[in-house]
């Protein structure tokens, strides 16, 4: 197994992809809107991926946050609100805000589990700032670290109740970025002391099963390299200072915040201490380059992967989707 999660090009595995994936044996896969049409089609795709890998606990990921970041959409699936809705409720009624975040995540998980998706890249623990890039600001759980942590914890719990593993992101914090990493490399000039605010939610949830890095330069820690490619940030900040020992994956290495070839970026992330590289866009030459540069996943990283997936092993998803949505909407009606 190589330490990479790959994307797929369409609604079913192509013959070329099938041959490549069987040979490369990636750690898992991630789905996007281009891979999703109906319940039956998505279930057939995820079943096919599991059969190809020979692993019942295969990580099949998706970004299903709610709001603008949602790959499964109406009319086939219900819409879900993004983080700010729960932050606004928490402002009025903290316990209700936490419970709404929990049942919302549980509802998302039930929707994902039904079609065989096992990992959701949620929750965001990024602490919002006045000038946070809109690409993040429209998704955050707020600007107060412990509020973000409380609702993030509820989301992780809700996802697990629904049979899905959560991923905390974007370590060690994306809230101070004022440009979108899909297009640019942000540089954060905040001091080490100021960045304690950004670290706080991740420290509170350091026992999360999976985490995702950010493609951001933090001058206080490593002025030369973005977090994803920085041994200093991965090992000294994420692993030691935050205390995170779960599976650490990169954000998508195709984002324009990172430079260099796909193989260079993948190798750099693993060398920095990331467990898994996330390569989303299913471009065969790039996937072949990454696979060619990849060694087998390390024993430590494989153990983290197995431990994360074991949190839902044999789980029976709990709850009724309609009931959970109704409860969430009743709580959100306060605001």
**How far apart, in whole angstroms, are the C-alpha atoms of residue 131 and residue 151?**
22
Over the stretch 144-156, which tens digit does the pLDDT of each residue have?
999 999 999 999 9
60: confidence class by pLDDT, cuts 50, 70, 90: very high
Q: Is 248 helix (H, G, I), strand (E, B) or coil?
A: strand
Place of tokens 């795709």: 45
Q: What is the pLDDT of residue 335?
A: 87
**How far apart, in whole angstroms, are the C-alpha atoms of residue 272 and residue 237?**
12
> Are residues 148 and 201 in contact, defined by beta-carbon separation less than 8 angstroms?
yes
**How far apart, in whole angstroms, are the C-alpha atoms of residue 189 and residue 60?**
36
Question: Which two structure tokens, joined as six digits, stand for 244?
Answer: 């995170």
Please return the burial class of 85, using the count of CB atoms within 10 Å of its CB with bins 0-12, 13-18 and 19+: buried
Question: Which two structure tokens, joined as six digits, stand for 201?
Answer: 């939610």
Over the stretch 216-252, which tens digit does the pLDDT of each residue have?
999 999 999 999 999 999 999 999 999 999 999 999 9
- Kindly state the percentage of the chain with pLDDT values over 70: 100
Active centre residues (catalytic): 182, 251
**End-to-end alpha-carbon separation of the chain, Å?**
48
> Are residues 227 and 215 in contact, defined by beta-carbon separation less than 8 angstroms?
yes
Mean pLDDT (whole number) for 256-279? 97
> Tell me, which fold does domain 2-332 have in CATH?
TIM Barrel (3.20.20)
Q: Cβ of 243: how many Cβ atoms within 10 Å?
A: 11
Model confidence at 128: pLDDT above 90: yes
Q: Where are the domains of the chain?
A: 2-332
Q: Identify which of 186, 60, 184 has the alpha carbon closest to the alpha carbon of residue 126.
A: 186
**How far apart, in whole angstroms, are the C-alpha atoms of residue 73 and residue 37?**
9
Query: Is the torsion defined by CA of 104, 110, 113, 114 positive or negative?
Result: negative
**How far apart, in whole angstroms, are the C-alpha atoms of residue 64 and residue 79?**
10
**How far apart, in whole angstroms, are the C-alpha atoms of residue 18 and residue 142?**
42
19: confidence class by pLDDT, cuts 50, 70, 90: very high
Backbone angles phi, psi at 187, to 5 degrees: -120, 125
Q: What is the pLDDT of residue 315?
A: 85
320: confidence class by pLDDT, cuts 50, 70, 90: very high
**How far apart, in whole angstroms, are the C-alpha atoms of residue 176 and residue 186?**
9
């Amino acid at each position: 197994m190589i330490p990479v999660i790959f994307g797929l090009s369409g609604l079913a595995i192509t013959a070329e992809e099938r041959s490549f994936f069987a040979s490369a044996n990636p750690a898992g896969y991630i789905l996007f809107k281009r891979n999703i049409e109906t319940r039956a089609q998505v279930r057939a795709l995820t079943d096919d991926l599991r059969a190809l890998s020979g692993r019942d606990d295969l990580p099949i990921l998706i970004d299903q946050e709610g709001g603008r970041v949602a790959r499964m959409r109406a009319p086939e699936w219900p819409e879900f609100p993004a983080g700010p809705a729960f932050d606004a409720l928490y402002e009025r009624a903290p316990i209700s805000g936490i419970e709404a975040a929990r049942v919302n995540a549980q509802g998302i998980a039930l929707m994902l589990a039904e079609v065989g998706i096992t990992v959701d890249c949620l929750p965001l623990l990024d602490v919002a700032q006045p000038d946070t890039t809109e690409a993040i600001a429209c998704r955050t759980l707020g600007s107060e670290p412990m509020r973000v942590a409380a609702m993030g914890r509820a989301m992780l719990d809700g996802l697990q109740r629904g049979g899905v593993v959560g991923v905390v992101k974007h370590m060690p914090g994306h809230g101070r970025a004022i440009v979108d990493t899909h297009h640019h490399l942000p540089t954060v000039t905040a001091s080490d002391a100021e960045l304690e605010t950004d670290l706080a939610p991740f420290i509170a949830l350091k026992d999360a099963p999976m985490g995702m890095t950010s493609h951001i330069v933090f001058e206080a820690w490593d002025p030369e390299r973005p977090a994803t490619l920085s041994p200093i940030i991965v090992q000294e900040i994420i692993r030691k200072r935050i205390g995170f020992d779960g599976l650490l994956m990169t954000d998508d290495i195709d984002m324009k915040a990172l430079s260099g070839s796909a193989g260079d970026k993948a190798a750099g992330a693993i060398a920095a201490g990331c467990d898994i590289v996330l390569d989303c866009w299913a471009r065969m030459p790039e996937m072949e380059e990454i696979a060619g540069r990849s060694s087998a996943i390390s024993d430590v990283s494989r153990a983290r992967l197995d431990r994360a997936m074991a949190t839902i092993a044999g789980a029976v998803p709990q709850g009724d989707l309609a009931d959970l949505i109704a409860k969430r909407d009743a709580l959100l009606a306060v605001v």
